[in-house]
Amino acid sequence: MARYLPGLQTRDRILDSTRWLLARVGLDGTTLSAILERAKVRSGSFYNLFDSKDEAILTVIREAINAVDPHPDGVGKDTVEELVDAYVEFITGQPTLAKIYLQTAVGGAMTDETLAHRVIAHHEARVSRLADAIRRQTRTSKAKSQLEAELLLAGLNGLAFHWLLDDDFDIAARARDLLASR
């Protein structure tokens, strides 16, 4: 393990720098050169760990999402309410990262095929977890719980985009309304 420590430390410095830059200068100001300068690493070290600046940004976002995950070990334990609460907690607890994720998921994925595949995989994983929770709570068929999960996630994404455009929008209250209407 000790021989991998420098690589892990470099990775942590890159992610800490990326996180710091995103919080202070946003997506546009988080350039590769700014990440490298702040982390005090060279581009070769960066590219040994990440394929691109976007991958580093998405790693920071994924860590923030995982931090609010009710059961990070995966499917089989969470409830629909816990998953919805985690979605809202990410949006409201990490507003800068949430806005960057939404912008990247829509704008970046439209022009970057690799990014599009990552966003789709993340979406499908969320649908799967929601469908599993719905199936356990309601004992409905796999097809029906899958459809309900897609609709619920579509509603949450719509609320998130509304929140992105309107800082006064109460996404938590609307998410509770969405859950109550199921």
> Where do the H-state alpha helices sit in 30-170?
32-39, 43-49, 53-67, 80-93, 95-103, 109-111, 113-138, 142-165
More confident residue, 77 or 48: 48
pLDDT in tens, 85-105: 999 999 999 898 998 888 888
pTM passes above 0.85: no
CA distance 92 to 73: 23
Burial annotation 168-177 (CB, 10 A radius, 16+ → b, else e): eeebbebbee
What DSSP line would sit under 57-82, residue for residue? HHHHHHHHHHHT-S-TT-TTS--HHH
| pLDDT number for residue 66 | 86
Share of the chain above pLDDT 90, in %: 61
Query: Domains plus CATH for the chain?
Result: 1-50 (1.10.10), 52-180 (1.10.357.10)
Instruction: Using pLDDT thresholds of 50, 70 and 90, give the confidence band for residue 2.
Output: very low
- Residues near 77 by Cβ (< 8 Å), separated by ≥ 6? 70, 71
Q: Is residue 53 a contact partner of residue 34, using CB atoms and an 8 Å limit? A: no
| pLDDT number for residue 30 | 94
| pLDDT number for residue 7 | 60
* Mean of the per-residue pLDDT values of the chain: 90
| pLDDT number for residue 62 | 87
| pLDDT number for residue 135 | 95
Neighbours of 47 (CB within 10 A): 11
| pLDDT number for residue 6 | 58
Taking Cα atoms as reference points, which of 137, 154, 159 lies closest to residue 90? 159
What is the identity of the amino acid at 1?
M
Share of the chain above pLDDT 70, in %: 95
Q: Is residue 63 a contact partner of residue 161, using CB atoms and an 8 Å limit? A: no
Whole-angstrom CA distances from 113 to 44, 110, 154 are: 24, 7, 22
pLDDT in tens, 113-171: 888 888 899 899 999 999 999 999 999 999 999 999 999 999 999 999 999 899 899 99
